[in-house]
Structure 1
């Protein structure tokens, strides 16, 4: 399938996009601020057992999750809920949240940011996403978190 740029339709083929490893999770940016004219960012995520970011908040964007396969614990400051395959979760901007794979296999999910822009955080923070999923590494997680804390404010977000 191919569309001319003048048609205004964006097509990203399977396995295409910018891939990054962040916190041991694999994120592939399928749609971004540039190719959606700022409308939304779309990320395909593969999160290993135990993976996921710490509690955080987006000040300028809403975030939504669609779980394609697996089991996640979605948390805010008060409580946690377990969601499974086929679940959709919407987190409005300004709400503290986190997710964690509590299953025994990787979770596959789509993450949507509206408006677009926060997906650039993954590009800046992560390392090239080519190759197999690395083993969980507490030292690498700590390095990623330190770097994330130093850049996250540029993306109108913060860790709690």
Structure 2
């Protein structure tokens, strides 16, 4: 279940988005954390995830709360389940996808987080802040995703 509580110092802006068919709830934008980090809770349906990408200057880490996530980090495959933590080295090519019998729930920490805030909210569709169910799946607008990635400083890795 996506927690919808907010601390009093948080801005009053939309915090729940459909990003590539993933329900993303921003617990903290960089502006909420003195520009130190972005913290997102994600409900990821089986088969959904992030395509291979890399970015310099923005640390990223994942903590699996429920379900299973298959990660690829610099060509190494990692299967992570509840309680597992996966850190992405700065600039490393990485991807993830929910696998198994049901959706996965993960925490994503980005520091300082500005790049990911711009990218996730830029390609995402705002949802009601109380929404806890997965959005209806839809095909992503790939040219828009690629443009927003480039604009935010992220590089999507396109298979050769």
Normalising to structure 2: TM-score of the pair? 0.82
* Deviation at residue 128 of structure 1 after TM alignment: 1.5
* Residue 124 (structure 1) aligned with residue 125 (structure 2): no
Alignment deviations for residues 97-152 of structure 1 (CA, whole Å, 9 cap, x no partner): 00000112111110000112122311111001235423444xx23x1x32110111
RMSD: 2.3
Residues 31-50 of structure 1 correspond to what in structure 2 (within 5 A)? 31-50=28-47
Unaligned 5+ residue runs, structure 1? Answer: 5-9
Aligned residues: 148
Q: Contact 2:10 / 2:28 at 8 angstroms: preserved in 1?
A: no
Change (3 A) 1:2 1:70: closer
Shift of 1:58: 1.5
- The secondary structure found in structure 1 opposite 2:144 is helix
Unaligned segments of structure 2, at least 5 residues: none
Compare CA radii of gyration and give the structure with the larger one.
1
Counterpart CA distance in 1 for 2:44 and 2:120 is 14
Tell whether the 8 Å contact from 1:20 to 1:27 is kept in structure 2 after alignment: yes
TM-score norm. by structure 1 comes to: 0.82
Which of 71, 94, 98 is matched with 1:97 structurally?
A: 94
